[in-house]
Structures are given as structure tokens and as C-alpha cells.
Amino acid sequence: MTRQIVLDTETTGLNPKLGNRVIEIGCVELVNRKLTGNNFHCYINPERDSEDGALAVHGLTTEFLNDKPKFAEIIDGFLEYISGAEVVIHNAPFDMGFLNAEFARVGFVPFSDHVEGVTDTLVQAKELHPGKRNSLDALCDRYEVSNSHRKLHGALLDAELLADVFLAMSRGQNSFSIELKDPIKVEVHEEVVIDTSIQQILVLQASKSELDAHALLVSGIDKETNEKAIWKNTEF
């Protein structure tokens, strides 16, 4: 059984080293790449105000968070939920930096020590789509995941969107074969005869206009990826 947890957080600001805190955690469970509905979600009292920029993103006010549990009160349940799973995060260093700071504040070892591993979908997206926008919104558009109901950032909602994006983006990586429930039956109505008497293979040379078009295409790839194509330095 492969268990993966897609995770997102909301925070009071951008830098935990400046005292910013986690205020919301949202997690979605995948077992063998299937959504189970066994999610984890909580709001957290950060014991401080959110910075204006962060508040504009998530809309979670100090007044709303004042009666929510502190991080020390939710960590046991959170650890029980994520323990031993592979965790999937978009821009993992950001969320892990905050979680590690929260874990250290209550005397726990770093977040990564409690899980099987961490997959960063931002890194995956940059490898698949170099030079393209790879924010969660951009990936939702690219993989046709509806996010029309996303007015403000929310940890659970973003984790649910990311789970759909992750499944779409990594589709086909589990196996190199296509498994079919029922085998396809092929009926052969006539014998196919292959003429093996042809000894010479015809080679069609590209025209000058085709070569020029190819060179223009390769130059465009170079410009988009900011790298020189390897085959330009290869002699045939």
C-alpha cells in the first residue's frame, strides 16, 4: 500500500525566522493514488497578528484565530496522521521551513524525520514545463483542474487542488504498460504479405526550406529554455 499525504499550510507571513507562524494546516490522503476522504484540517492560534500581505491572501483574521488551539495542542494528532507517509507539497521548502520551526518550538525533531519522504510538485512542474509559470493556479489551468471556487487561499482547499494536479501531472509514472480489464480480441481476415525483395532503402533528403524551418525551431527552444541544444555540438 502506498500512502501519500498532500499538504498545504497558511501562515502569518513569509519568514519563520522573523517570528511568523503557521495558522492553518490542510491535508488530503491518497492511498494507491486514490483519494480516500480521510483528510486532516485545523486552524491554529499563532499568538500574533498576520502581516498585511499574508492577511490579504488567506483572510484569516486575528479575531477568528483567537479561540483556535495552539500548535502544541494539535501536534500529536497531526503527527499521528502524517507518520510514515510520503508527503506531497508545492514549494516544499516554504511549508517545511515553517513546520520545522513549529516543531522545534515545542521540542520535536524536524518534520521530515516523521515522514517517509517529501515530494515537491514545484520541482516536478519545472522539470516538466521549463520556462513556464508553475504556480498552483497555473497548473490548475494547464491540467484543467477547476479552481473557480478559490477566492482566497485556504490550506485544505489548496491541498485538494494540489492532489488533483499531482495525480494529473504524475499520471502514467506507476507503470510503463497499459493494463486492460478484458483482453482485446483481434480477428485477422486476410493474410498480410511483406515484400522482402526490396534491397535498397530510399532516403529522402530535407529541402533547404525544411532545414531552415528546423533551425528556426531549435533556436526558439534555445531561447525559451535559456540553454543551447546538445545536438548543435554533435557531428553526424
Instruction: Choose the catalytic residue: 90, 129, 153, 214.
Output: 153
Spatial distance between the Cα atoms of 153 and 159, rounded to a whole number of angstroms: 10
Please give the grid coordinates belonging to residue 190: 486476410
Instruction: Judge contact between 33 and 174, C-beta under 8 A.
Output: yes
Cα dist from 122 to 93, 118, 128, whole Å: 10, 12, 10
Spatial distance between the Cα atoms of 169 and 8, rounded to a whole number of angstroms: 18
153 counts as catalytic: yes
Q: By three-state DSSP, how is residue 70 classified?
A: coil
Spatial distance between the Cα atoms of 38 and 82, rounded to a whole number of angstroms: 11
Please give the grid coordinates belonging to residue 151: 477566492
Q: Are strands 40-43 and 22-31 parallel, antiparallel or unpaired?
A: antiparallel
Active site (catalytic) residues: 153
